[in-house]
Amino acid sequence: MTESAYFVMDVLSLGSLYALMALGLVLVYGILRLVNFAYGELIMVAGYSLYLMDGSPLPWIIMAILAILAAVATSVLTERIAFRPVREKSLTAMLITSFAVSTLLQNAALLFISPRSRVVPLPDIFTHNFMLGGVLIQVRDLLGIVVSIAMLIIFTLLLNRTVLGIALRAAADNFRMTRMLGVPANLVISVAFAISGLLAGVVALFWLGRTASVTPGIGLEPLIIAFVATVLGGLQSLLGAVVGGYVLALMTVGINTFLSQDLVDYRQAFTFGLVILILLFRPEGLIRAK
Amino acid sequence: MPTSPHRSYLTGVGTILILVGLLIALAVLTHLTGSVVLTRFATQMFIDVVLVLGLQIFMGNTNVLWFPHAGFMGIGAYASAILSMAPMQKSLTLAHLYPFLADIHLPFLPALIGGALVAAAVAGVIASPLMRLSDFPLVITSFALLVIIHVVLTHWHTLTNGPQTLFGVDNYTSMENAAVWACIFVVVAYVFKESKVGLQLRASRDDLVSAGSIGVNVVAVRWIAMVVSAFAAGIGGGLFAHFITSFTPKAFYLTDTFVVLVMLVIGGPATVTGAVFGTVVITFIYQGLRWIENTINVDQVFSTNIAGLSDVALAIMLIVMLILRPAGIFERNEISWQSIKRFFGRAPSGAAVMPKIGKEVN
């Protein structure tokens, strides 16, 4: 009983983070057909922003908001500076650009801050835990679940109830047609990148909360997770991305719980092997879009 | 471009001669300086020429962003090192190696080719299903494949010594034999590009549907290019292993992928000339910046060591290049005697000369 409670808790807390990561990636992909390799670096940017504000008199929540804003700004600026000029040229050029932006941001952190990991300030509440029905619950995990689900609800309302949201969904569905109907393309794309940065920034708080440190290479793992979740969910659908996030968390926790240690080392290889199989045999994803 | 097959053949020989001549000239110049540092730079450059040409064979002819190249390079490096290492050394470095591999002790050339064949065979099997994909699925799976190869290299302790350094590989790679392999792959890449398979591939790159409709088996020709490309990656990896002599799986991951990609994309992925020139130019810039980085660190200009300067510069160059000239320096046409003469304004009779250039020179 207790073990299954831990299991559910782990899946929920990981899955909520994975879902947000996948959502941020798929939103941009839906509109631009761009696989944004620099997405993981947004998490890194938020982390280093927190590190740089360490020791300032600001309360943590303000620092967190500023860190999220830094991720949003980075996301919007990379689009404006790097992706927009190559947008019309070719898809491969845009992909290579995103890979270059990723390398640029990582090495800038290496150059201007340090190759070594840096400590990120976290609120005390992140280390608290309490017992609930014989199960030890980390406040951090619970907070992660609550915030993620709140973000998902806000995001759904935004997409379904606002003009901007409808424009975003229309653009993700058929970008060219949406432009012809008079929706300003640059604005929609900028908003998509801003939301993508916002999601990455929120994820960063909880992702960094697990280790309390940030390194230049920290973005790779979240990026890989977002890739896999996106593929599981079917590449195009926003709902699929969320479901994909939870499915991946279920698989990850399952592998960690039930597989022997030797094989857990190969976990990434297994999940990616699975991704290749899914793309070969069911390219529309596990969840078929409506 | 000349139209008759005869002219085209001669232009091809010209292109190969110019590129091979350039590489040999660089090797001879380096040899004349007698500098150990420059020789190391040049050796690394010739290895990179092999790797970049290998990537060009697949990526240039298909316009597919191909990530596993560095992974196949790693497979070639480890396989050739295991084949060439003396049993005595193997018992020190790879104590738990499978018995049937422990006693193998091949000379350099068979080990190098053997390692490349292993890389090509692995590529031929595990990457073959990817040839059916396109767009997003292809990008993700090709990235996935790089990560999978890296994870396996990092955890297969018996074969690779895991994340720890594999040391004690014999230093067989000299600048001369690296240069010879670079020249060989100039010929291979050019002949491949102009071959029937190469033409079919390029047709499918420019228009997938039309190429399919005139009978091009896109999956098959892509597979052939991918295996040839992986063989080149394996040779490059083997040369690298016997040049650097101790390495970890990290040497064959994202950083290396990035550098090779920059060289190809800046030079021009669609042409063999672009691949060669891109490698040479980027080597100069990259090694120059590395040298500056080291000098700053040795002289302790700053309180802490700096790292990442050269990669930041490379990334910025790549982004600027993609914005200004996304197809690279040599977009479509290979270098030829005519193009060189045209460039210097002495138009040969009969060749089409763009009047604008002529005017500027006059």
Q: Do A93 and B326 touch (CB under 8 A)?
A: yes
> Higher-confidence residue: A80 or A280?
A80
A251 located within any domain: no
Residues from chain A that touch B306, judged by Cβ atoms under 8 A, are 111
- Measured torsion, CA atoms of residues B133, B136, B141, B144, in degrees rounded to the nearest 10: 170
Are the CB atoms for B315 and B322 separated by under 8 Å? no
A203 located within any domain: yes
The pTM assigned to this predicted structure is 0.89
Lowest-pLDDT range of B59-68, B82-91, B347-356: B347-356
Residues from chain A that touch B129, judged by Cβ atoms under 8 A, are 276, 280
Closest CA of chain B from A152, distance in Å: 25
A231 located within any domain: no
Q: Do A279 and B306 touch (CB under 8 A)?
A: no
The rounded percent of chain A whose pLDDT value lies above 90 is: 29
| Number of other CB atoms surrounding residue A125 within 10 Å | 10
Q: Do B322 and A86 touch (CB under 8 A)?
A: yes
Judge whether residue A41 has pLDDT over 60. Answer: yes
- Judged by a CB distance cut-off of 8 A, whether residue B130 touches chain A is yes
Quote the pLDDT of residue B93. 85
Dist CA B185 CA A39 (whole Å): 36
Dist CA A120 CA A113 (whole Å): 13
Dist CA B216 CA B210 (whole Å): 9
Dist CA A192 CA A28 (whole Å): 6
Residue B355: which pLDDT band, with cuts at 50, 70 and 90?
Answer: very low
* Over residues A19-26, mean pLDDT: 90
> At residue B166, what are phi and psi to the nearest 5 degrees?
-90, 115
A190 located within any domain: yes
Q: Which amino acid is at B77?
A: A
Residues B107-154 pLDDT 10s: 999 999 999 999 999 999 998 888 888 777 888 889 989 999 999 999
Tally of domains in chain A? 1
Quote the pLDDT of residue B237. 97
Residues from chain A that touch B135, judged by Cβ atoms under 8 A, are 33, 91
CA neighbor of B257 nearest in space, from B334, B336, B314, B213? B314
Judge whether residue B207 has pLDDT over 70. Answer: yes
Quote the pLDDT of residue B2. 44
Q: Do B136 and A35 touch (CB under 8 A)?
A: yes
Residue A117: which pLDDT band, with cuts at 50, 70 and 90?
Answer: confident
* Over residues B312-340, mean pLDDT: 89
In A, minimum Cα distance to B141 occurs at: A276
Residues A164-219 pLDDT 10s: 888 888 887 778 888 888 888 888 899 999 999 999 999 999 998 888 889 888 99
Closest CA of chain B from A281, distance in Å: 10
ipTM for the assembly? 0.87
Judge whether residue A234 has pLDDT over 90. Answer: no
Number of residue pairs across A and B with CB atoms under 8 Å?
Answer: 120
* Over residues A103-122, mean pLDDT: 89
Residue in B136, B265, B326 nearest the CB of A235: B136
Judge whether residue A238 has pLDDT over 90. Answer: no
Dist CA A207 CA A177 (whole Å): 38
Judge whether residue A263 has pLDDT over 80. Answer: no
Judge whether residue B346 has pLDDT over 70. Answer: no
Residues from chain A that touch B148, judged by Cβ atoms under 8 A, are 268-269, 272-273
* Over residues B312-334, mean pLDDT: 90
Closest CA of chain A from B302, distance in Å: 12
> At residue A119, what are phi and psi to the nearest 5 degrees?
-80, 135
Residue in A35, A85, A110 nearest the CB of B140: A35
Interface mutation target, options A276, A277, A284, chain B, most CBs of B under 10 Å: A276
Lowest-pLDDT range of A12-26, B128-142, B178-192: B128-142
The rounded percent of chain B whose pLDDT value lies above 90 is: 60
Residue B6: which pLDDT band, with cuts at 50, 70 and 90?
Answer: low
- Domain range for residue A111? 17-217
Judge whether residue A287 has pLDDT over 90. Answer: no
- Judged by a CB distance cut-off of 8 A, whether residue B309 touches chain A is yes
Q: Which amino acid is at B340?
A: I
3-state secondary structure of B94: coil
Quote the pLDDT of residue B8. 63
Quote the pLDDT of residue B304. 73
Quote the pLDDT of residue B361. 37
Judge whether residue B306 has pLDDT over 90. Answer: no
Judge whether residue B177 has pLDDT over 90. Answer: yes
Judge whether residue B349 has pLDDT over 70. Answer: no
Interface mutation target, options A29, A83, A107, chain B, most CBs of B under 10 Å: A107
- Mean pLDDT over each residue of chain B, to the nearest integer: 88
Residue B178: which pLDDT band, with cuts at 50, 70 and 90?
Answer: very high
Residues from chain A that touch B307, judged by Cβ atoms under 8 A, are 110-111, 115
CA neighbor of B238 nearest in space, from B361, B92, B65, B119? B119
A55 located within any domain: yes
Residues from chain B that touch A114, judged by Cβ atoms under 8 A, are 304
Dist CA B126 CA B165 (whole Å): 26
Residues A52-108 pLDDT 10s: 998 888 898 999 999 999 999 999 999 999 999 988 888 888 999 999 999 999 999
Quote the pLDDT of residue B353. 43
Lowest-pLDDT range of B8-12, B35-39, B184-188, B244-248: B8-12
Residues from chain A that touch B140, judged by Cβ atoms under 8 A, are 35, 227, 230-231, 275, 279
Quote the pLDDT of residue B10. 67
Dist CA A171 CA A168 (whole Å): 5
Q: Do A96 and B137 touch (CB under 8 A)?
A: no
Interface mutation target, options A111, A231, A237, chain B, most CBs of B under 10 Å: A111
**Tokens 């390079």 -> residue:** B73
Are the CB atoms for A20 and A202 separated by under 8 Å? yes
In A, minimum Cα distance to B140 occurs at: A227
**Helix or strand run (H / E) with residue B111:** helix B108-126
Are the CB atoms for B223 and B124 separated by under 8 Å? yes
Dist CA B80 CA B241 (whole Å): 8
Q: Do A275 and B323 touch (CB under 8 A)?
A: no
